[in-house]
Amino acid sequence: MGTFRSTGFIAAAILAAGTTTALCFGDALGLVPGQAANSAIAAVPVGATTEPLAILRRSSPWLTPVPGGVQALRGKVVLVNFWTYSCINSLRALPYLRAWNDRYASKGLVVVGVHAPEFGFEKDAAKVRLASAQLGVRYPNVQDNRYAVWREFGNQGWPGFYFIDAKGRIRSYRLGEGDYTEAEQLIRKLLAEAGHDPSDIPVSPIAGTGIEAEAAWGDLRSPEAYVGYEKAVKFASAGGLVNNVETAYATPGDLSLNQWALAGHWTVGPEFATLNRSVGALAFRFHARDVHLVLGGAADGRPVRFRVTVDGAAPGASHGSDVDEAGWGEVREDRLYQLVRQPGRVVDRTVRIEFHRPGVRAYVVTFG
């Protein structure tokens, strides 16, 4: 993993009004095969705080507190990770963060998560706690709903990593996925500077499994697609998206690569589309190993059944972790669902997700 993947993040726009607009995936910049690599470990971003520990001391709420309080970070090497739990790029970084926390906590490393939500449901502390428990995020984690910590650190995307030495200085930062070997070497260097000898800890390979597995970058030709009208592109249903009004949509007979469409009665809002009646569907023509969809459950709390087909057939061995071989799955929680993981050759295909109850919310389709 010697190359930084610029498709793994997008720079955030910090608006004059103080709000932050960011995307979890770099595709809004244009997914171009063979994009030039960027430096993974960079200098401190312009405008970043010179007192990162003071910023963390003022931050709240802590969903998982720092043992001994935030003041206990003094003299520690601290790795701050900006993440959000429905972002596939954030999820694929978790195996490394968990492993580093396990390997180096006894040597003076503290991993701190800063959960900066992309979608409204991710502002709910109870949902973040549940997701963190399911994902094995046991290190300290603070909720940053107003992006206060994000702005103070000068962060620019998900996932963001800040390396703070034992003197409380940000020594380096990086954005996006990849180059984890270099990042771990930097952690070891900062620990050694602090007087801790990490040489007795072996640097063994770290690999994500399931939804956290590294993307098949060489086969990735599809950008993420937001369903809400504020960021939607390449929508192919006749008449286009209609904002904030229940509308009957139909899927065209042919979708070109990276086009998508709706079928059934949906209300498309700025952030997500809500299915108003049974039955409705979303279709996407894609080129990638994996397909994910961020979904929200119905307001009545009852599960919403859905079925995934690939080129009109059940996915079989290509089913994702959230569906069975016949393509059936259920929306029970607001989160990212893995629909497709192809074990064989990757070519252009059409995925269709058909929902069998109204009330489901569709946010964004992502790939890996």
The C-alpha atoms of residue 347 and residue 363 are separated, in whole angstroms, by 25
Is the pLDDT at 14 greater than 70, yes or no?
no
Q: Tokens in use for 161?
A: 């990593």
- pLDDT, position 111: 98
The answer as to CATH 2.60.120.260 being correct for domain 217-367 is yes
Is the pLDDT at 28 greater than 60, yes or no?
no
- pLDDT, position 22: 53
Phi, psi of 32 (to 5 degrees): -120, 115
Band the pLDDT of 349: cuts 50, 70, 90.
Answer: very high
The C-alpha atoms of residue 349 and residue 347 are separated, in whole angstroms, by 6
Express each pLDDT in 171-214 by its tens digit. Answer: 999 999 998 999 999 999 999 999 999 999 999 999 999 999 99
- pLDDT (average), residues 254-269: 98
Is the pLDDT at 7 greater than 80, yes or no?
no
Of 2-6, 221-225, 336-340, the one with minimum mean pLDDT is 2-6
Q: Can you say whether residue 147 is alpha, beta or left, with left for phi > 0 and alpha for psi between -120 and 50 degrees?
A: left
- pLDDT (average), residues 85-102: 98
Q: Can you say whether residue 157 is alpha, beta or left, with left for phi > 0 and alpha for psi between -120 and 50 degrees?
A: left
Band the pLDDT of 42: cuts 50, 70, 90.
Answer: confident
Percent of the chain with pLDDT over 70: 89
- pLDDT (average), residues 342-362: 97
Q: CA separation (Å) from 193 to 73, 188, 234?
A: 16, 9, 51
Express each pLDDT in 129-177 by its tens digit. Answer: 999 999 999 999 999 999 999 999 999 999 999 999 999 999 999 999 9
- 163: closest CA among 41, 56, 270? 41
Is the pLDDT at 9 greater than 90, yes or no?
no
Is the pLDDT at 309 greater than 50, yes or no?
yes
Express each pLDDT in 209-245 by its tens digit. Answer: 999 999 999 999 999 999 999 999 999 999 999 999 9
The C-alpha atoms of residue 127 and residue 125 are separated, in whole angstroms, by 5
For the chain, the average pLDDT equals: 90
Q: Is 105 exposed, middle or buried (0-12, 13-18, 19+ CB in 10 A)?
A: middle
Q: Can you say whether residue 47 is alpha, beta or left, with left for phi > 0 and alpha for psi between -120 and 50 degrees?
A: left
- pLDDT, position 246: 98
CB atoms within 10 A of CB 290: 25
Q: Tokens in use for 166?
A: 């034992």
Is the pLDDT at 12 greater than 70, yes or no?
no
- pLDDT, position 44: 82
The answer as to CATH 3.40.30.10 being correct for domain 6-212 is yes
| Domain-wise residue ranges, the chain | 6-212, 217-367
Band the pLDDT of 46: cuts 50, 70, 90.
Answer: confident
Instruction: Provide CB contacts within 8 A for 171, sequence distance 6+.
Output: 44, 163, 164, 165, 186, 190
Which long-range contacts link 193-201 to residues 24+ away (Cβ below 8 Å)? 193/165, 193/166, 194/75, 194/76, 194/77, 194/108, 194/165, 194/166, 196/77, 196/107, 196/108, 197/107, 198/104, 198/107, 201/103, 201/104, 201/107
Percent of the chain with pLDDT over 90: 87
Cα dihedral 318/24/158/175 (nearest 10):
90
Is the pLDDT at 127 greater than 50, yes or no?
yes
- pLDDT, position 47: 85
Question: 124 or 22, which is more confident?
Answer: 124
